[in-house]
Chains A and B, each alone.
With several copies, the nearest count.
Chain A
């Protein structure tokens, strides 16, 4: 096994990887930009290397700097986490060229599967159904319109190099196509440095269900069951489950989708962890969507239900060890749900809300797992994805897990910046969610019917009482005390200034 591993990432995923490295007795090397010197992953790692200024294009996305850091610190392998360079074939190749083990699939497999169009060809060759779509980026809006008319509206515009919903637009008719094409292309250009966009038939109210793959370097590939990722906003997953309530009710789907996913992986000579995403329509037909050639953000729900440590398995596979389990050894127990906690303002278009965390209370207790990248007093930088933490819960059933998540959210308080914690609290109580009637449009539908909290005279009275204790008041009686309390509040701010 490796003695030292560099993590080419930041935030909660870097912290999560460091934890498993520590448990395996492997030294960890963090990398950090100017904005991240005081970030949790740097505090927790055994070693740390500065890789450039705050913009990721000048730090976390700089292949040569990451590799130089690994060399300078004597790391034998690099874990890319997700995002950044994790699905960059060039980076995987550069690691190999530098004699470093890239903890993921081969550069060749990333190349084959990273391009959505190439991946779709692969899936079709493996006899897996795909959504009708163009096989290459559209030359221009006209070619896109032509195809859209052919397969019929509504359609989706998608970035060829894309992922995470960036450069993606729904188009319902000829009229909107030109503008949508322009936006999608410019967003794709910014996000991936590649403006290529293609057209795909849109399946109405689909579920997004994905299969977790695991393959060793000796040709042994298995799947760890599915994840339900239908809870999305703007094509971005915000809440995930394992198992999928639909698949749990129709176990034959797990076998069929799992086998399809394994076929695709075998066809690509795929190893290490990966995920095959499917769209499932109302009649439970599934269509290949895309491959993620890396660890998923939502991997904890699979870990909670299977009892496996995916990062540990990734490291063992990368070190050349055979898979420690066979397909029939994979057992799903209970139900897990994950919420992606973002620094964003649900009451203002979910606009990102970076800044300083003045006070932080974290949930704990039975069945609660928190993978967090922040701490009290830290500053959430403007430059990166505003994911603060992933809150996951496990329980014996989906209903109990949902109740446990609500309990955990009630214990979770972030003061100083806005978060979507309260939004999840409402979403979890939505009837349609509870009935597990999920589809990728559910969250948007929920937003339109989102309940407006009614006035509560009792809470208002408590708020008034607390405010008068907290605020400085110009009266003789309470001057000192009130003054002191307000001071306390300001001292918090003053204190945090030291952290700059």
Chain B
């Protein structure tokens, strides 16, 4: 069968034929490969490819899987045309950068105002969680388009703290 994948946001076509735990597959326009794959523990896969042994761990994500092997992490989604367009947009949507709270916390100080321009690495907002104050920095230079939180406010995980364009 043939699958449309998105690997770390980049579209790729996977052609795969399975016979028990043996696979014949071709990723994009690369050569066809032969591999053997066994799920040895739930979400843990042992893959033999050209005599090399790989152990990969899979976690479910939103509409995707996170695959970890040899210390590397890959986001892989199986896409259908409709979803593809949306996701590819997001994948290529590098024109804006949201600073997001990765866990619940309290806003201690807001260091920038909407409209200001910031340098990469410049402090944007100070959040306290788990008894530690963390200064969230801008990952890239740009203009602060939004700071939807106020000092003293408690935020939940996933809350957008600031947006840089």
Contact = CB atoms under 8 A, between A and B. Distances in A.
A327 interface: no
A471 B65 contact: yes
Interface in A12-68: 30, 37-38, 42-49
Given A377-B41, A467-B58, A48 B53 contact: yes
Nearest to A448: B121
A478 interface: yes
Contacts of A187: 128, 133
Interface string A347-364: 011111110001100000
A249 interface: no
Contacts of A467: 5, 58, 65, 67, 74, 76, 78
A359 B57 contact: yes
Contact of B102 (A186, A351, A493): A351
Given A43-B46, A467-B76, A471-B65, A499 B39 contact: yes
A465 B47 contact: yes
Contacts, number: 200
Interface stretch (A290-298, A409-417, A431-439): A409-417
A458 B51 CA distance: 13
Contact of A463 (B30, B69, B78): B69
A378 B65 contact: no
A377 B108 CA distance: 33
A191 B128 CA distance: 11
Interface string B57-83: 111100011011111101010101000
Interface stretch (A96-104, A305-313, A482-490): A482-490
19 contacts: A190-B128, A348-B102, A353-B102, A359-B41, A382-B130, A385-B130, A415-B68, A425-B71, A463-B67, A463-B69, A465-B23, A465-B25, A467-B76, A468-B3, A470-B45, A470-B67, A471-B76, A478-B1, A488-B43
Contacts of B48: 48
Contact of B74 (A463, A485, A486): A463
B42 to A, nearest CB: 5
Contacts of B134: 349-351
Given A375-B40, A460-B74, A463-B72, 15 more contacts: A43-B55, A190-B128, A191-B131, A345-B102, A354-B103, A382-B104, A415-B43, A415-B68, A460-B27, A461-B33, A462-B54, A463-B76, A464-B76, A465-B23, A468-B78
The B interface is mostly helix, strand or loop, or mixed, namely strand
B72 A456 contact: yes
Contacts of A325: none
Contacts of B58: 466-467, 470, 489
Interface residues of A, number: 77
Contact of A352 (B46, B130, B137): B130
B44 interface: yes
A489 B64 CA distance: 13
A465 B35 contact: yes
Nearest to A413: B57
Given A47-B52, A413-B68, A489 B42 contact: yes
B91 interface: no
Nearest to A28: B53
Contacts of A499: 38-41
A499 B44 CA distance: 10
Given A462-B49, A465-B23, A377 B72 contact: no
A171 B12 CA distance: 50
Contacts of B1: 473, 475, 477-478
Given A38-B46, A183-B133, A351-B134, A468 B14 contact: yes
B155 interface: no
Nearest to B38: A38
Nearest to A456: B72
A112 to B, nearest CB: 26
Closest 8 CB pairs of A and B: A467-B76, A463-B74, A470-B58, A463-B67, A466-B56, A48-B53, A351-B102, A488-B42
